[in-house]
Amino acid sequence: MIENEEQARSFVAGLCDEQAVARFEAFIALLAAENEKQNLISANSLNSVWQRHIADSVQLLQHVPRETSPWMDLGSGAGMPGLVIAIARPDLEIHLVESRKKRVVWLEAVASHFGLRKCRVHGARLENVESAPMRVICARAFAPLGKLLSLSARFSTQETVWLLPKGRSAGQELAEQPESVRQMFHVEQSATDPQAGIMIGHGRPPIQ
């Protein structure tokens, strides 16, 4: 279990190359500066940014084969987890979906800054994004599971992996779902919070 910033940075370094770690150092500086202009993340979490945001996002890479792509991140906001995944692995095709204009500008600026040519920002509500098959669908604090699945099922196939950090409510939220959804998902322990879980699912949900 990651307990501090030093451990979090070492964890990230174990999953990424040196260039990615350097990009994260620069990203954190950009994030802190932008946070003075708009409330991207809580000010307190800047003190534990490696643990709360970078490692918390990068850990998702452990749950899919290395070359799995494309990814879609729902409600990207400040860029966690989707933009962080793109910074870690610029070779992967990443789609960031975000409807708030200021957040869209931020995501596009960071992607441009780091030359993330395979990272595409969709500045629209998910309902208005054109359907396309995704190998990974991820989201952090986007919507309750039932609503999330109903909105995004059209992007999934039988090969899709769902990676949904759900904090401390993961187990309870999954338990409240229909049996067909419960069979699709399981909860794994987060590496960054002893009380948090990640919902991991496979396939196309039984929702039209």
Ordered DSSP codes for 137-172: EEESSSS-HHHHHHHHGGG--TT-EEEEEEETTHHH
Query: Contact, 183 vs 206, CB < 8 A?
Result: no
pLDDT in tens, 35-78: 999 999 998 899 999 999 999 999 999 999 999 999 999 999 99
pLDDT at 206: 84
| Whole-number Å distance between alpha carbons of 74 and 80 | 10
Whether residue 173 lies inside any domain: the answer is: yes
Q: Which domain holds residue 85?
A: 5-202
Whether residue 208 lies inside any domain: the answer is: no
**Does the bond joining 165 to the residue before it have cis omega, within 30 degrees of 0?**
no
Whether residue 207 lies inside any domain: the answer is: no
Whether residue 185 lies inside any domain: the answer is: yes
* Domain of residue 11, CATH code: 3.40.50.150
* pTM: predicted TM-score of the whole model, two decimal places: 0.96
Whether residue 153 lies inside any domain: the answer is: yes
- Which residue type, as a one-letter code, is found at position 55? A
Tokens of 183: 């069979």
Query: Contact, 137 vs 74, CB < 8 A?
Result: yes
How many domains in the chain?
A: 1
User: CA-based angle 106:108:111, to the nearest 5?
Assistant: 110
Whether residue 11 lies inside any domain: the answer is: yes
Tokens 């992007």 belong to 155
What residues of the chain score a pLDDT lower than 50? 208
| Whole-number Å distance between alpha carbons of 144 and 128 | 19
Whether residue 90 lies inside any domain: the answer is: yes
Tokens of 61: 């890479």
pLDDT at 208: 46
Tokens of 159: 């090969």
C-alpha distance from residue 206 to each of 44, 137, 176, 191 (Å): 40, 16, 16, 30
